[in-house]
A and B are shown apart, each in its own frame.
Chain A
């Protein structure tokens, strides 16, 4: 057995094991390094802050002693109220003891005798302060609490000491920091470690795909397999997340640099800016389709990625709020074209008829890439924007877009544009106002768009208002991914659950509205973890089944428009979601927005209830839940 184990150790790990081994080792190395680094740095900075706080205590003691110098020190003396929030005592000396003649915090009734000397004596520090007339820092216990005290002598006009002033502060207040090793910092370094491991994994995969041999038997579009398009999904998501997460902060920065704005005006500008960006990103699909057909899909991704790079680089040079607003819509549109390219790829590849390349499977893999990319993008956005500002975000986004261009041209060697018929407004309005299929769109597809706005627009803003850094956003994305993709799938396979689409929508609506209401009741970072978990479950229930089901609901002659309708409703969800999310802060615009954010969130929740429960209510009124079939629509 020993020989077997030994010989096994001598074997090189196989490719798959080796990959997971290296990823696991990499994650552990990074995480442990960050933990050790955090504790070392915290120690150094904490000692600096402790010194500064004891310096403040010293100055307070000197100030009070200075105000009493030259005056007689006696019981019930009048002490000028220079520092009303300060905790201090005045002592006189009698032999080897010090008597407390005045306290700013201990309550004494009139007529009571002088406060007795401190039970354990006050030590050498107090004698030094009195006899040598030195400013001394020491510590002592009082009522089982550990205090740091600063002592200063009260000097008479003849130069002798009349007494000492003692200023006290709790040791835990001296040693307190909100930046130290806390739960939120643990989450942050966990997110950084996970995100960088994901980056390492994705780059490894990219390298393997580039250096590997494509399968010449397959059509050009799918020759590089799932790795090709998954890599594009990941890197495009990182590139698009970078500017999206920081738009609000950048508008705030530019507005404050320009001239003083009220909080309401600032909230309105952020609302306008983010809505312009998301409108360009998720809407205008007819224009995107037209450009795709005119330029070809590969050329369009090249042209629009280059235009996004150009806009980003110009925004580095022109540091102006008006210019920034002017570029938000075209920037959103250009970045949205990278996702439109992936949509074209998905549709065309799925039509080739290969089982591994069904539309649902491609969409699932792309979705995983999007979420992982968003988590990584959020980490980079938070840290880089904090240190370097918008300029480095623009540079990094440009580099990543260049990688996406390379991947798109290298891996997807042929991708003709799809020929979906143009969706006219009357058709769209008819679709969304239909009692049955229209309510399905409002309850099933529209909230997914709102969720995207929640994560990309609302989450960074609320975390900033709770004084958390933007980097923490990544932790919530990871929780969302883990719950929606990992935990839900595990539970479903364990319990062999296969709910119908109607049940999925009902459950998803309940989960979403519970999340919004929980957040409205308690808008804290800890509650956001629970809320994001609920949203992860809600969105995970979707499982890319809604679109096929919608097709089965509508008339055959309307089915060619189904995809465009669904995409348009999703885009509408993103835009209205952005408006609603930002409106919460607009309603509560004040110096401390979290005070009244509950009210804004409650309105937000009530508005969404109408959409989320539209389809379940219609079903309840028309068919009833008891007749619902298991399995739902054909996939």
Chain B
């Protein structure tokens, strides 16, 4: 094979190698950022969800002690109205500058195997009506929890003084913002990473191009001197 062809193929192989490695470096760099951001995101999301669920659980259990079962049994509609308004400043967000997770609650009367909603802060966000009574009803009146992606619900049976279950108190907290904000954050981080890694690659490649450029520009005047008239 003629020497010039060999040199050409050698240069092509080198160029191909350089291009492939540059692309690979960029891809691996982006992968690293994706890995890390996803790992951090999942960790924080889990921590937030655990904290949020605990918050809903504790506040719901504490606020359920304010509901008098005997009063609920005696006059369900008045009781529902009263407790509905008493619980509103406790549970709902009023005038906060930023609202992240939202909370909704409902008070129900229970008799003869069926639930009657007495007060609901927002009916479509609540879950008690969609559940079969047998799912949450136990003789000990243990609270029942529903865990879904983006929400947490606790159902607390309300008992009268003789131990009979006369009502149900539901608190539902939801946090869809967590996933949308997390995805948006990941996207912006990824874009930033791509740009900065590309710039980093360019800066690194100067170390290879600059000597070639400078030695080429240096050799140009010498070549002109050597050219025959």
Contact = CB atoms under 8 A, between A and B. Distances in A.
Interface of A: 9-13, 18, 21-22, 25-26, 29-30, 33-34, 37-38, 40-42, 44-45, 48-49, 51-53, 55-56, 59-60, 62-63, 66-67, 80, 82-83, 135, 177-179, 188-189, 192-193, 196, 199-200, 203-204, 207-208, 211, 379, 383, 386-387, 469, 471
Nearest to A60: B59
A383 B35 contact: yes
Contacts of B43: 179, 469
B89 A12 contact: no
Given A66-B89, A177-B47, A204-B21, A29 B55 contact: no
A36 to B, nearest CB: 9
Contact of A196 (B32, B90, B100): B32
A203 B100 contact: no
Given A41-B44, A192-B35, A62 B90 contact: yes
Contacts of B41: 41, 45
Contacts of B125: none
Nearest to A387: B38
Nearest to A193: B32
A63 B212 contact: no
A22 B204 contact: yes
Interface string B20-53: 1100110011011101111111111001100110
A469 B44 CA distance: 13
A189 to B, nearest CB: 6
A11 B36 contact: no
A62 B89 contact: yes
Contact of B39 (A44, A207, A471): A471
Given A33-B33, A204-B24, 18 more contacts: A26-B29, A34-B36, A41-B189, A45-B40, A45-B48, A48-B100, A49-B47, A52-B51, A66-B66, A66-B86, A82-B62, A179-B43, A193-B32, A203-B21, A207-B20, A383-B38, A386-B42, A387-B42
Contacts of A379: 35
Contacts of A42: 40, 44
Interface stretch (B132-140, B193-201, B221-229): B193-201
Contacts of A29: 29, 197, 200
Contacts, number: 159
Nearest to A383: B35
Given A45-B48, A49-B51, A52-B52, A12 B211 contact: yes
Nearest to B55: A56
Interface in B132-151: none
Contacts of B29: 26, 29-30, 33, 196
A207 B33 contact: no
Contacts of B193: 33, 37
Given A37-B193, A387-B42, A59 B47 contact: no
Contact of A200 (B25, B58, B65, B89): B25
A63 B60 CA distance: 10
Contact of B32 (A10, A21, A82, A192): A192
Interface string B154-168: 000000000000000
B197 A179 contact: no
B20 to A, nearest CB: 6
B127 interface: no
B16 A178 contact: no
A41 B55 contact: no
Contact of A12 (B35, B62, B101, B212): B212
Chain A contact surface mostly: helix
A556 to B, nearest CB: 52
A34 B32 contact: yes
A11 B31 CA distance: 33
| Shortest 8 CB-CB contacts between residues of A and residues of B | A45-B44, A179-B43, A82-B62, A62-B90, A56-B55, A10-B211, A383-B35, A41-B40
B64 to A, nearest CB: 10
Given A34-B32, A34-B33, A203 B16 contact: no
A104 B178 CA distance: 34
Given A10-B211, A51-B98, A203 B24 contact: yes
Contact of B207 (A13, A26, A38, A82): A13
5 contacts: A30-B29, A33-B32, A33-B193, A82-B62, A196-B28
Chain B contact surface mostly: helix
Max count, chain A CB within 10 A of own CB: residue among B33, B40, B44, B87: B40
A381 to B, nearest CB: 12
Interface size for chain B: under 10, 10 to 19, 20 to 34, or 35 or more residues? 35 or more
B1 interface: no
B131 interface: no
A188 B39 contact: yes
A37 B189 CA distance: 7
Contact of A63 (B25, B62, B93): B62
Nearest to B59: A59
A12 B197 contact: no
Contacts of A200: 24-25, 28
B185 interface: yes
B17 A207 contact: yes
A59 B52 CA distance: 13
A21 B13 CA distance: 21
B41 to A, nearest CB: 7
Nearest to B215: A10
Nearest to B22: A22
A208 B17 contact: yes
A190 to B, nearest CB: 11
Given A41-B44, A63-B62, A51 B100 contact: yes
A620 B59 CA distance: 69
B1 to A, nearest CB: 13
Contacts of A471: 39
A8 B37 CA distance: 40
B101 A52 contact: yes
A211 B16 contact: yes
Contacts of A30: 28-29, 32
A383 B28 contact: no
Given A42-B40, A196-B31, A67 B66 contact: yes
Max count, chain B CB within 10 A of own CB: residue among A40, A55, A192: A55
Given A10-B211, A33-B32, A383-B35, A49 B48 contact: yes
Interface string B197-217: 100100010011011101100
B48 A52 contact: yes
B158 to A, nearest CB: 15
B40 A207 contact: no
B211 to A, nearest CB: 5
Contacts of A41: 37, 40-41, 44, 185, 189
Contacts of B98: 51
A177 B17 contact: no
A530 B85 CA distance: 59
A238 to B, nearest CB: 14
B63 interface: yes
Nearest to A155: B89
B91 interface: yes
Contacts of A53: 51, 55
A45 B33 CA distance: 17
Nearest to A42: B40
Nearest to A134: B95
B63 to A, nearest CB: 6
B66 to A, nearest CB: 6
Nearest to A13: B207
Contacts of A9: 211
Interface string B167-181: 000000000001001
